[in-house]
Amino acid sequence: MSSITITIDNFESEVMQSASPVLVDFWAPWCGPCKMIGPLIEQLAEEYSGRVKVGKVNIDEENALADQHGIASIPTLLLFKDGALAGQKIGVAPKHEIEAMFKNYI
Catalytic residue numbers read 31, 34
* Chain-centre distance for alpha carbon 87: 10
Q: CA-CA distance, 50 to 73, in Å (whole number)?
A: 29
State whether residue 15 is helix, strand or coil.
helix
